[in-house]
């Protein structure tokens, strides 16, 4: 089995995070490295569907083993919303701050603040498809706290912590995050698949 995989993402932060998790055991490259510039398709209504669509797109176009991820914030009192629509909760092209403001408004006076981040990774390996999931449970705060991270980090406190993801140092977030957990499962699978 080859040790080289394309991570179907244009997000350089995610790429760096995954390089650290792969810790030199696998060579992870991005679409630009194989000549693909531009957006990746993400038109499905589930995290699994979007992750698979991105991975299939690159795998079919270049005939190469590939994986992709998709993440959503699932809020219990909102029946799992914004979920797959987390990036554009306040509308197409709106900012992370707009998304947070909408979320806090929806949860105004709501005592149930339970929420989770869920990441799904889809892997295409020798024409077979595999899925890996990472979940972090936590609570939505009443106000924004912290400057680190991105997206909903200023309003999400992971269970067993007092700080929001935006207050925690990146090294800690990247160890316990939904994405880190899904990627750890992916690389565990790949290491054992080779044996």
Which residues make Cβ contacts (< 8 Å) with residue 108, sequence separation at least 6? none
Q: Which of 23, 16, 22, 58 is nearest to 40 (CA)?
A: 58
Nearest distance, CB of residue 108 and ligand IMP, angstroms: 20
3-state SS track over 46-102: CHHHHHHHHHHHHHHHHCCCEEEEEEEEEEHHHCCCEECCHHHCCCCCCCHHHHHHH
Nearest distance, CB of residue 1 and ligand IMP, angstroms: 27
Which residue is at the shortest CB distance from ligand IMP?
Answer: 151
Nearest distance, CB of residue 33 and ligand IMP, angstroms: 20
CA distances from 33 to 15, 123, 129, 145, 166 (A): 12, 18, 23, 37, 31
Q: How many CB atoms lie within 10 A of CB 192?
A: 8
**Active-site annotation holder among 70, 98, 109, 162:** 70
Give the Cα separation of 16 and 36 in Å (integer).
Answer: 19
* 110 versus 170: smaller Cβ distance to ligand IMP: 170
* 26 versus 165: smaller Cβ distance to ligand IMP: 165
Give the Cα separation of 108 and 18 in Å (integer).
Answer: 36
* 87 versus 144: smaller Cβ distance to ligand IMP: 87
* 96 versus 172: smaller Cβ distance to ligand IMP: 96
Quick one: residue 73, left, alpha or beta (phi over 0 = left, psi -120 to 50 = alpha)?
beta
* 117 versus 187: smaller Cβ distance to ligand IMP: 117
Active site residue 70: yes
Residues that bind ligand IMP (CB under 6 A): 70-73, 86-87, 96, 117, 149-153, 165, 177
* Residues with active-site annotation: 70
């Amino acid at each position: 089995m080859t040790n080289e995989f394309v991570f179907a993402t244009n997000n350089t932060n995610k790429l760096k995070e995954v390089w650290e998790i792969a810790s030199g055991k696998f060579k992870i490259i991005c679409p630009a490295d194989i000549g693909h510039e531009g957006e990746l398709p993400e038109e499905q209504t589930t995290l699994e569907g979007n992750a698979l669509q991105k991975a299939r797109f690159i795998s079919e176009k270049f005939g190469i083993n590939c994986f992709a991820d998709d993440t959503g914030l699932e809020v219990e009192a909102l029946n799992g919303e914004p979920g797959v629509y987390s990036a554009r909760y306040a509308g197409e092209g709106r900012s992370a701050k707009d998304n947070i403001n909408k979320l806090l408004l929806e949860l105004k006076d709501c005592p149930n603040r339970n929420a989770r981040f869920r990441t799904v990774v889809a892997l295409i390996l020798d024409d077979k498809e595999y899925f890996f999931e990472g979940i972090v449970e936590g609570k939505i705060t009443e106000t924004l706290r912290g400057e680190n991270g991105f997206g909903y980090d200023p309003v999400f406190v992971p269970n067993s912590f007092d700080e929001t993801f935006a207050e925690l140092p990146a090294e800690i977030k990247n160890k316990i995050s939904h994405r880190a957990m899904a990627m750890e499962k992916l690389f565990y699978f790949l290491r054992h698949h080779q044996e």
